[in-house]
Structure 1
Amino acid sequence: MSAMRGAAAYGRGASAYAKVGVESGVMSASPHQLIVMLFDGALAAIRTARIHLQDGNSAEKGKTISKALDIVNNGLLAALDGERGGEIAERLASLYEYVTRLLLAANLHNDVESLDQAETLLNDIASAWRDIGDQVARG
């Protein structure tokens, strides 16, 4: 019994430590790095949702897809500036809305292909964001 309590305490401690690390990273990140972190979070949630889907764990699948949806809608989509971003912002908004529809379909129909497509699209955009960051860092 005490070993289980110890494991639970360790899990809570590790989780708290990870949360502090993420919060510290957010506090010191540039706006560009924050967008990359959003992509990373959405992609991690999609990968986790796929595992839960394959394991038949509908509740956890739904939670992780909801997390990905939240990141896409309230992070990536909300961060777009239509005035300054112009046509690129409009196209990204359309793409994020499409990813949202894919994620909803994946959740509703247990559709791995929709998850795969959402992951591929987000990964492609994330790669472009990382390349931009690398170019800016090099000057």
Structure 2
Amino acid sequence: MTVSAALAITGAVVALAIVCGFIVRAQDGRRRTGGHLQVRSEDLAGQPLATTATLVQFSTELCARCPQVRRLLGQIADQHAGIEHVEIDLTNRSDLATRYHVLQTPTTFLVDASGMVLSRWGGVARRSAIEDALASVLTLHPQEQK
């Protein structure tokens, strides 16, 4: 193999890695539907589902961005009656990562009172995206603000 061919291949691999990085970054924090997933209350570390909706955060011990998401979800839950925040540590519960198709941490689910996943975010979701998703649930269950 010539030096120019090796440099061309190396350049192509670097360019491909950069493009893949931009694609992955663009998907981070994007809202998706929950599909047919249903969270079981026994998977919530002994905490019941909230009366209106629950923000379920999947984290790990070594997750650098999880504390930021924990604070954000806690603030949002504190602002609305009937909304709770539950954090599940997947470090010792890899079975839950498989069951709920969690491929990265943090991952956040918006779950209704029956356990149905209404929305999900992989990575750090924007506050406005979570508030928009919550708005549809809160209109179905109008309650006083906390």
> Does the alignment reach a TM-score above 0.5?
no
Judging by fraction of residues, say which structure has more helix: 1
Give the structure-1-normalised TM-score: 0.37
Q: Which has the larger radius of gyration?
A: 2
Give the structure-2-normalised TM-score: 0.36
Identify the structure with bigger relative contact order (alpha carbons < 8 Å, sequence gap 6+).
Answer: 2
Judging by fraction of residues, say which structure has more strand: 2
